[in-house]
Structure 1
Amino acid sequence: MMFLLIVAAAVAAAPPVLELTADPRPLHPYAELGASGVEVDGDLLIRNSGNAAWELVELALDVRDPRGRLIQRKELNQNGTSPSINLVTERIVAAGKSLLIFNPLARFAADVHPARLDYRLTFQGPGEKRLVLPVSMTPRAEPVRRFAFPLKGRTLVWDGHDFASHHRRWNYVHPVLAGAGFASIAARYSMDLILVDAEGRRSTGNEDVNANWTSFGAPVRSVGPGRVVALREDQADDRNFDVATVAIPNAMYGNYVVIAHDDGSFSMYGHVQQGSVVPKIGARVRTGEAIARVGASGSALFPHLHFQRMDGPNDRSEGVPTRFTGIARPGGGAFANGFVDSGDMVIAD
């Protein structure tokens, strides 16, 4: 009888199983010092194992320095006629589903050094019930090495190094992407690059014709020394992608080249022209060496170069930020921090 009582007491004392859980993705996002301050590109993954939907109604953040001291406190809430919590556009976690919250409260002044980010997420569920989830991130220093720019001439960064980029908002909990094996954002720091003329024109004539684009057929250069570890060059430049093949690593980029660098990162050059890849698997390449030509293969809206760095050789990896050297703005202005953002015009030799 005593044994049964002890077991019953132990069961009664067990903590309740939470319907909602929260995890940082990645666990150690990069803290990048840019022209406008520090940016931490990390997301929060919320999972709902219950049978009812929950809505995020408040998101609070304590920022701590390397010594653990509280240096800043931020909050999104329901106050006012146009509540700040509305800045988080997707806030409902359906029963049995997951939700990604992208880049929450992730910008800081240049003199703020966020060593730990302690979030408190308040959800409201059935019967006005509330649940508060704590979750922490520990940012890490970003790589300091700079790389050469992959295109020569005047380039428009159609989509670049900033939170608004569609690449950064890769919703891998979407059923199609989750079913294809995605659980990270390899393109988190990627960019789409288009060559333009001095007036910013990207093409002449009918844009349905690839040859009318300034970019089409332009040389693609390796951003640094390394070894070619993956490539493909058999896909037509027809701007066509079969979504059914998304489970194949790197398939969405059509033709591509992947180079392993000595710092442990991998650079990816996507949508390159059919049959244009120069080096073979295993070949060593130099900084600035021509490795392919700009094309329109795979999931390409138009001829352009998709470039990214990753911590692995394919799009199931995590993204790595890239600072460039040897680039300038039209008129000679410098990119002091080496980052290029969506909308930037870049001149590279």
Structure 2
Amino acid sequence: MLRRLFAFAFVLAAASASAAPVDTLDLNVPLAPAPVVVQGRERLLYELHLTNFGAAPLRLDGLSVLDADSGAALAGWRGDALAARARVIGAQNATLDGALQPGERAVLYVELDLPARAPRALRHKVEFSAADAEPGQVEGAQTVPRAAAKLQLAPPLRGGPWAAIYAPQWPRGHRRVFYALDGRARLPGRYAIDFVRLDADGRSARGDADVAANALGYGEPVLAVADGTIAAARDGIAENERVSQQTRNDFDRAAGNYVALALGDGRYAVYEHLRPGSLKVKQGQRVRRGQAIAELGFTGDSTGPHLHFHVADAAVPLLGEGVGYGFEGFRLLGAYPDAKGMGQQPWQPRADEVAAQRRNELPEANSVIEFPP
């Protein structure tokens, strides 16, 4: 009898320490990435969607990106590093500092510099745990990266210095903002850059910086980055005189005045926040690369005068998926380590081992560059 009790207790203990369920977590990469070149390195930017189809909360403990053929780990994140690149869709507290609840979806934003011998395909391993269960793991979401885009563009602006502002980790940065329109969620700003004009001391305005027209880049000519046809254009949205007067806009006015230039193969260069009355083109017009098409302004959802630039697969600003591109040439001056001091203090100079002249690549996050005059 005592032996039976011990055996029963052992079964209970084993059941209470059973493995976490591996059949309830769905892994999906909705859009296969294509590499872009950033400061000499091929980089993938893409999103891994995780959905909890089970009845128990799951805590995400680790993410590894694997070479699908060899199984070698290319990158991995745990703890705070994992939480920093994850957002729970629709949750009031969007950070992933707790468990993924039943029915919830999290998006993990992946930025991955590829090795010299790039893998044919990627696979993902997610480690997780549930209450009263041993930790578990699941592998899936195999994706084959697409060929690198051959899209190399002329400068959208002249001279400089220009701060190329973007950062994958910013919660409200372009990289993390989905728009669900026409029954589909898209990420138009996956490769978007906000260009802000600086002076030699890193300042972005003269005099009272709250006056929009005092921004150094205000009114600068905006240029066609390629020969092409104007696919869409909007003018006539007014702008506030002062930055402090800015308010949020509805979806259809968030881009302010804009121009979309058809580049061919279903890709469009999108310019946003243009100065009212400055558009020099209209829909259907053919333009040449380097041609002035508008002026930098402060319309729409803008925290200050700047040029928002991205390339997507649709002409309307919020209806496209962001696609990669590069610029034919620019000069790298330096960078800001983060947003602190940007527009008020000098940037950190370029490291000696990094070449100043950059060709056929995307500027690094928060770098300071010069385009040809």
Cα distance between partner residues in 2 of 1:102 and 1:278:
38
* Secondary structure, aligned partner of 2:237: coil
Distance change in 2, residues 1:159/1:25 (3 Å): farther
- Of the candidates 193, 196, 212, which is equivalent to residue 195 of structure 2? 193
CA RMSD of the aligned region, Å? 2.8
Question: Which of residues 135, 140, 145 is equivalent to 2:146?
Answer: 140
2:218–2:305 Cα contact (<8 Å) kept: yes
TM-score by length of 2: 0.75
* Matched AA of 2:108: I
Report the counterpart of residue 114 of structure 2 in structure 1: 108
Output the CA distance in 2 between the equivalents of 1:87 and 1:72: 24
1:343 aligns with 2:366: yes
Give the Cα separation in 1 of the matches to 2:364 and 2:263: 23
C-alpha displacement of 1:18: 4.4
| Percentage of identical aligned residues | 25
Residue 167 (structure 1) shift: 3.9
Deviation at 1:44, TM superposition (A): 0.4
Aligned counterparts, 1:3-22, within 5 A? 18-22=23-27
Q: Write the distance in 2 (CA, Å) between the matches of 1:99 and 1:286.
A: 43
> Is the CA contact 1:157–1:342 (under 8 Å) kept in the aligned structure 2?
no
Structure 1 residue 61: Cα displacement: 2.8
| Paired residues of 1:35 and 1:337 also in contact (CA < 8 A) | no
1:70 aligns with 2:70: yes
The total of aligned residue pairs comes to 315
- SS at the partner of 1:169? helix
Task: Return the offset for 1:178.
Answer: 4.4
Partner of 1:48: 52
- AA paired with 1:235? I
The 5-angstrom pairing of residues 1-349 of structure 1 reads 18-26=23-31, 28-35=32-39, 37-64=41-68, 69-70=69-70, 72-74=72-74, 76=76, 85=82, 88=85, 90-91=95-96, 92-103=99-110, 106-109=112-115, 111-128=116-133, 130=136, 132-160=138-166, 163-164=168-169, 167=173, 169-172=175-178, 177-178=179-180, 183-238=185-240, 240-243=246-249, 245-246=250-251, 248=252, 251-314=253-316, 315-330=318-333, 333-348=356-371, 349=373
Amino acid at match of 1:55: R
- The code of the aligned residue for 1:271 comes to H
Give, in angstroms, the shift of residue 24 of structure 1.
0.3
- Deviates further, 279-288 or 195-204: 195-204
AA at the equivalent of 2:295: R
Following superposition, the deviation at residue 93 of structure 1 comes to 2.1
Contact 1:32 1:141 in 2 (8 A): no
Residue 85 (structure 1) shift: 4.8
Question: 1:252 Cα shift?
Answer: 1.5
Give the Å deviation of 1:17.
11
Give me the TM-score of the superposition, normalised by structure 1.
Answer: 0.80
Task: Report the residue type matching 1:147 in the other structure.
Answer: L
What SS class does the counterpart of residue 213 from structure 2 fall into? helix
AA matched with 2:363: V
* Distance (Å, rounded) in 1 between the aligned partners of 2:254 and 2:48: 25
User: What's the CA shift string for 1:65-118, capped at 9, x where partnerless?
Assistant: xxxx4173246476xxx78655655543223221100006x2233x12122001
Secondary structure of 1:21's counterpart equals strand
Q: Is the 8 A contact 1:54 1:124 kept in 2?
A: yes
Alignment CA distance shift 1:235-1:51 (3 Å)? farther
CA distance in 2, matches of 1:257, 1:84: 37
User: In 2, are the aligned partners of 1:159 and 1:343 still within 8 Å (CA)?
Assistant: yes
Report the secondary structure of 1:253's partner residue: coil
Per-residue deviation, 1:30: 1.0
State how far apart, in whole Å, the 1-side matches of 2:37 and 2:365 are. Answer: 17
